[in-house]
Structure 1
Amino acid sequence: MAYQKRWGIEALHKALKTGCWLEGRQHEAREHLENLLALTLLISVKLLRLRTLSRTRPDEPANEVLEPAEVQVLQALAPQLSPRMRLQGALTLRQALLLIAALGGYMANPLKRPPGWLVLWRGYERLGDYVAGFILAQALPAPPPA
């Protein structure tokens, strides 16, 4: 029974090592490594969950995994990132995964393999930047009428 869970654990380790580049960050102090591991583990689990669910339940809404602001930003960026993608209704898990991968440099092609951890990590990092800008823009006062 435990052996069956091995592949999920292996995928999580790969997300941490390849996507989050945990080993390459070269922190020496234990406290720094623990803080980094805590942050990257949360993101790795989220990306692993998104990747797994996008394969098993691709048409489920993306808000099962992503925050509302992340979904809004991806929907706004979709026409630029993937002009052929037709968003009808709620953003799906599969669409969200492909859009995050596109932010990381993935170019969807039927002959290509699914997006890997490095491209997902880069895309999710960029998504975070867009979300921060989106939240900041919402917090700004409205400009006075001209």
Structure 2
Amino acid sequence: HTAGAETRYIEELKRDSLMKLPGRCQWLGYVPDERLSTAYGAMRIVVYPSKMITESGALLMALSHGKAVIASDLRAVREKRKLGALMTFKSVVDLRRKIKRLLKDGEARRELEEGARAYAEANAWEKVAEQHVELYEELL
């Protein structure tokens, strides 16, 4: 799922991936909410290469679905990395190496999936709401 408008760069990526990775990379375009769980369920790993957006619904959705995520090394993402919820990358070479590792190493992928689920559970809306209520009760 690619956020944002279709650009020439996206079109080049699509063409290259279809030629070099036939049957291994799908470009879905917009995915309606009711199909997101199915789409995430079909993914082995999720790559989040944004260099500008630090918090993303797509990134959090991937974690909530327990997916192994590789994301750009941004400040807001590092906290999740420290908690074992995802991997970060600093260069194209680093990204390539980590994608290959997660596709080949099922144990490493499972560890990230467990970390993603734990992060999502700890940060679920219900838990955050409970923490706010507890804080307000302490302050009153």
- For the criterion TM > 0.5, the same-fold answer is no
* Higher RCO (CA < 8 A, seq sep 6+): 1
Q: Higher helix proportion, which one? A: 1
Please tell me the TM-score bracket, short chain as reference. 0.3 to 0.5
Normalising by the residue count of structure 2, what TM-score does the alignment of the two structures yield?
0.37
